[in-house]
Structure 1
Amino acid sequence: MDEYFRQYGVIAIFASLAVAIPVGMFLISWLLSLVKVRPNNPSEVKSSIYECGFETIDTRWNTFNFRYYSIALLFVIFDVEVIFLFPWAANYGILTPKFGLYILAEMGVFIGILLLGWVYAWKKGSLEWS
């Protein structure tokens, strides 16, 4: 039981450091601003919106086109599915003598469901830009 708590002691130390370091940085910055070591020079340039070196176009947030969101969401879904394929491909040679046909059939079903989802998104027009 003592070994169990010792293993999680490292995680507790890591979590406490993950909280203490940013809090300490904020406290040091705040204290330095009270002592006037850190300069406080607010200006219009510092509070303006930064757009990668270009002049700012507008002062408000612009609307976001939904087509970008749907394409990004489809990319994330299919990208995560490819992540599930990688361990199977990496271990297929090791597992082939014992479970070869079963694993191949299982991944065939998985890829089939993945292809059905892709065809469904294609037929619904989710991949069309116009």
Structure 2
Amino acid sequence: MPIFFLITLAILLGLILSNLSKWMGPSRPNAIKTFVYESGMDPVGSAHERFSVKFYLVAMLFILFDIEVVFMYPWAVQYSQLLEQYGMFPFIEMLVFITILFVGYIYVYKKGGLKWS
């Protein structure tokens, strides 16, 4: 019973807080406020345009760099303790991880994701 009470409370609080400004704040829509805004320029084209594959490759590059830093930095900080405790296993494990990341970089390179022209 307490878990259902907590879930209900969380849902209600989320709904109330997300709609609080709508309920309490002033609402004076006009043509200028409801106009589509794209960095101060008039919108050109449809909102349902297809993105180039390079956009997704750049996103993949970001994820690869992000994952690499998130996992390698703490590993490097604790490396000496890991080496004492587990021997060469942490080093081999990180080599496997770096190999998987390197395969991702090779894929992005072959697809032309590193060409910024």
Query: What TM-score comes out, normalization by structure 1 length?
Result: 0.62
Q: Distance in 2 between matches of 1:71 and 1:48?
A: 30
Which one of 56, 79, 82 corresponds to residue 66 of structure 2? Answer: 79
Contiguous gaps of at least 5 residues in structure 1? 33-37
In the alignment, what sits opposite 2:43?
A: 57
Contact 2:58–2:113 under 8 Å retained in 1: yes
SS in 2 for 1:23: helix
Matches of 1:62 and 1:28, distance apart in 2? 30
Letter in 2 for 1:56: D
Identical positions, percent: 34
Once the two structures are TM-superposed, the CA of residue 45 in structure 1 deviates from its matched residue by: 0.9
Q: What is the one-letter code of the residue matched to 2:15?
A: V
Alignment coverage as a number of residue pairs: 115
In 1, distance between residues paired with 2:26 and 2:97? 59
Residue 91 (1) aligns with residue 78 (2): yes
Call closer, same or farther: CA 1:112–1:23 in 2, change over 3 Å: closer
Query: What SS is found at the alignment partner of 1:113?
Result: helix
Give the structure 2 partner of residue 35 of structure 1: none
Deviation >4 Å, runs of 4+:
27-30
Residue 48 of structure 1 aligns to a residue whose secondary structure is coil
Gapped runs of 5+ residues in structure 2?
none
TM-score using structure 2 length? 0.67
RMSD: 3.4
User: 1:1-130 counterparts in 2 under 5 A?
Assistant: 13=6, 15-25=7-17, 26=19, 29-30=22-23, 39-52=26-39, 54-58=40-44, 60-61=46-47, 63=49, 65-66=51-52, 67-130=54-117
- Evaluate the alpha carbon distance shift between residue 103 and residue 62 of structure 1 in structure 2; reply closer, same or farther with a 3 A threshold: same
